[in-house]
Amino acid sequence: MKINNKRLFLSFVAPFMILLSIIGLILRNNTRKIFYLPIGLMGISMLLEKDVRRRLGRKNILKKIKSYQKVK
């Protein structure tokens, strides 16, 4: 049960980082806005990396299914 709760918590980290970055960019002074860019970029890169990994995994599974269908 602890593993599921941890995964659920970690799934909200990247969107929270992006939200924090947007709020920081809107509400801070002009000199301090640059400090929120790395947080937002890391959140975006985490989401993109998850998406790419998921797509590659699905393609690999589809290739395996198709290879089994050709044998029969």
Residue 58 structural domain: 2-71
pLDDT attached to residue 10: 74
Q: Over the chain, what is the mean pLDDT?
A: 85
Residue linked to tokens 């998406």: 51
pLDDT attached to residue 68: 84
The 10 Å Cβ neighbour count of residue 17 is 21
User: Structurally, how many domains does the chain consist of?
Assistant: 1
Q: How confident is the model at residue 8 (pLDDT cuts 50, 70, 90)?
A: confident
Q: What pLDDT digit, counting tens, does each position of 17-48 carry? A: 999 999 999 988 888 788 889 999 999 999 99
pLDDT attached to residue 71: 62
Q: Record the pTM.
A: 0.72
pLDDT attached to residue 4: 65
